[in-house]
Structure 1
């Protein structure tokens, strides 16, 4: 109820500020369920695109009046990354009260410096998760998660201080001029450029995922895992679909058309698999998540037909559903095998708090609507 009252005051403030620029604005309230449901996700995309084409700036926020804690995004960083991916934005700016991502905690280490450019965010995650990492504890966790989401969709992401007017424009101009300077340098033309405001820039992926693939990878809550071996992984990267014969184990209690993780693990030898320990020959740490999909069979059915040819499905289940465990249109892959995020090993002097897990995976289970 208080959030409903606050929304009026908030939009009144926004409208007053933008009216001085004669700039029309609109309010878009999104819930986690709007992302899980494919139809609502596309509707949100279309609404945002239409507003921008009309020259209207959308003010996007979470619908706190209807959202309970169990189904919240968790932070505006995550919501902003999803929104940026939905509209295929050029830039996402995460404004905060520090200059960017530091090499160490500047409160305790005088040699700490702001990292200017992050080219490979997965390498950064690997460094910060290692025991010998130089990055300290701080409040950058949710922003790193947001940067990973946005850059995977081809969005350049910037973390910088919000207190200085003109920062966004100067940073964009700096990176645009750098591109132009590279061309001029090749022609023998040199020009001195002023230093931009301190910031950390995360470069976009060379192979971004868009639309349905982004929704499959980042919009749904996985209900379980399907394990395959390296041979099956190489095959499905070429074919685009997963057959039951490629499945070596299953984990979780998922149903038809619910989201699952696709995990690559060593194929078991002659050790029996069971529900309590699905990878008896390899610990879960040895398995790598490579993608996600919507499964064509529930846990019980897939457990019975895993490793079998599609022609054997009817004789085992008594009926023939799809010949695929995951169909082509319902399967998407990460650019690289994902790593476990450990935001608490990142550095920032800001006293903010955050969830130490990927907030997209902390939402209760929900089915996908085709």
Structure 2
């Protein structure tokens, strides 16, 4: 999708970073809530549907609790999130009320979206809200999450919401005007207007730095864009401090970095497999297996598995990598760790003899496999 075609997007996910609402230098950008609401309503008046994935609960809560930096201990993070989430939604509610619009709070966890039934329930809820002209304000449920607080961020969550609600555009707003060819703090840094493919070289340009009150750096934004891209959705990373930034992006202006959608779109279920589930292990494949997956679309057979790492059970998500460590695919495995150790490198016809039973010829069936 070219910039000129961004105007055709009717359903948009906008992620707002903590730095825009509770900047590291202190204070709260109270005015930004009203500016965002004005822009979102303007888009809605153009017959678009908009969802806000908003960080800031921990940051706002930290301000209220008098903390200068993001808490380190999990209970302190959860306390800050519990205090801040109320403030966050109240500010959005006031801002949208000026335009006669209602907001709805949606708190999600990675574990919740990993359950397919709950994933679909979230989809139905979001669709119902959007059809009624309500603006969903989505955030991770930081006050009860533990693993998500350590490793998750709302960049990834926003990409998962793209699949959940079948959006057509993802916009990631922070304090940086897109991806640069070197650290944006350097005077010679140049903005990269468009990225057609998220190659390893492009990923290397990303800094993993985060702010004192936030969790997501540029690397997490590129990972989110990669997830959206695989669902056939482009991403724009832009500076949320710009005036009318959302309107200008959808008008096709050269703002931030546009990351193109992949040419081959994953189905909703396969996208859910690849990006909504937690990885539990890694399978190392020989060259023949790599070619069979990439070039022929085959299932993964035990004969192609060289080794396995991690502790996984039947139905868990595992990575498939080449012997050099390059990720080739992800999929739901049909055998657990101990079983894979016994059958790896063997022909499928020997599974019954080696285990005393069989769950099928494939370690991962192609219907449960996503080639990346």
The Cα RMSD (Å) is 2.5
Residue in 2 that maps onto 1:188 = none
Which aligned pairs between 1:283-362 and structure 2 lie closer than 5 A? Answer: 286-334=324-372
Match of 1:154 in 2: 232
Cα separation, 2, equivalents of 1:169 and 1:202: 18
Which structure has the larger Rg? 1
Residue 86 of structure 2 aligns to a residue whose secondary structure is helix
Larger helix percent = 2
Match of 2:273 among 208, 216, 236: 216
In structure 2, the gaps of 5 or more residues are 1-78, 211-216
Residue among 235, 239, 260 paired with 1:203: 260
| Alignment correspondent of 1:248 | 306
The Cα shift of 1:69 comes to 4.8
Structure 1's unaligned 5+ residue stretches are 130-134, 175-195, 266-285, 335-370
Question: TM-score, normalised on structure 1?
Answer: 0.70
Q: Distance in 2 between matches of 1:34 and 1:256?
A: 19
Once the two structures are superposed, what CA deviation does each residue of 1:47-105 show, in whole Å capped at 9, x if it has no partner? Answer: 22232233222110111221125655532222212212322322211112232222233
Structure 2 residue aligned with 1:116:
193
> Which residues of 2 match residues 224-263 of structure 1 at below 5 A?
224-237=281-294, 238-263=296-321
Higher relative contact order (CA 8 A, sep 6+): 1
Structural mapping, 1:1-370, within 5 Å: 1-69=79-147, 74-109=152-187, 111-125=188-202, 128=205, 139-174=217-252, 196=253, 198-237=255-294, 238-265=296-323, 286-334=324-372
Q: CA deviation at 1:38?
A: 2.3
1:143-192: CA deviation from partner (whole Å, max 9, x where unpaired):
22222222222221111121233111112112xxxxxxxxxxxxxxxxxx
Please state whether the residue corresponding to 1:255 is helix, strand or coil: coil
1:212-251 CA-partner distances (Å, limit 9, x unpaired) = 2112211222222222223223334535422223323222
Distance in 2 (CA, whole Å) between partners of 1:119 and 1:168 is: 21
Count of aligned pairs between the two proteins? 287
Distance in 1 between the 2:114 and 2:97 partners? 35
Q: Give the secondary-structure state (helix, strand or coil) at the position aligned to 2:241.
A: coil
Q: Which moved more, 1:135-144 or 1:93-102?
A: 135-144
Are 2:142 and 2:148, in contact at CA under 8 Å, matched by a contact in 1? no
1:360 alignment partner in structure 2: none
Aligned twin of 2:52: none
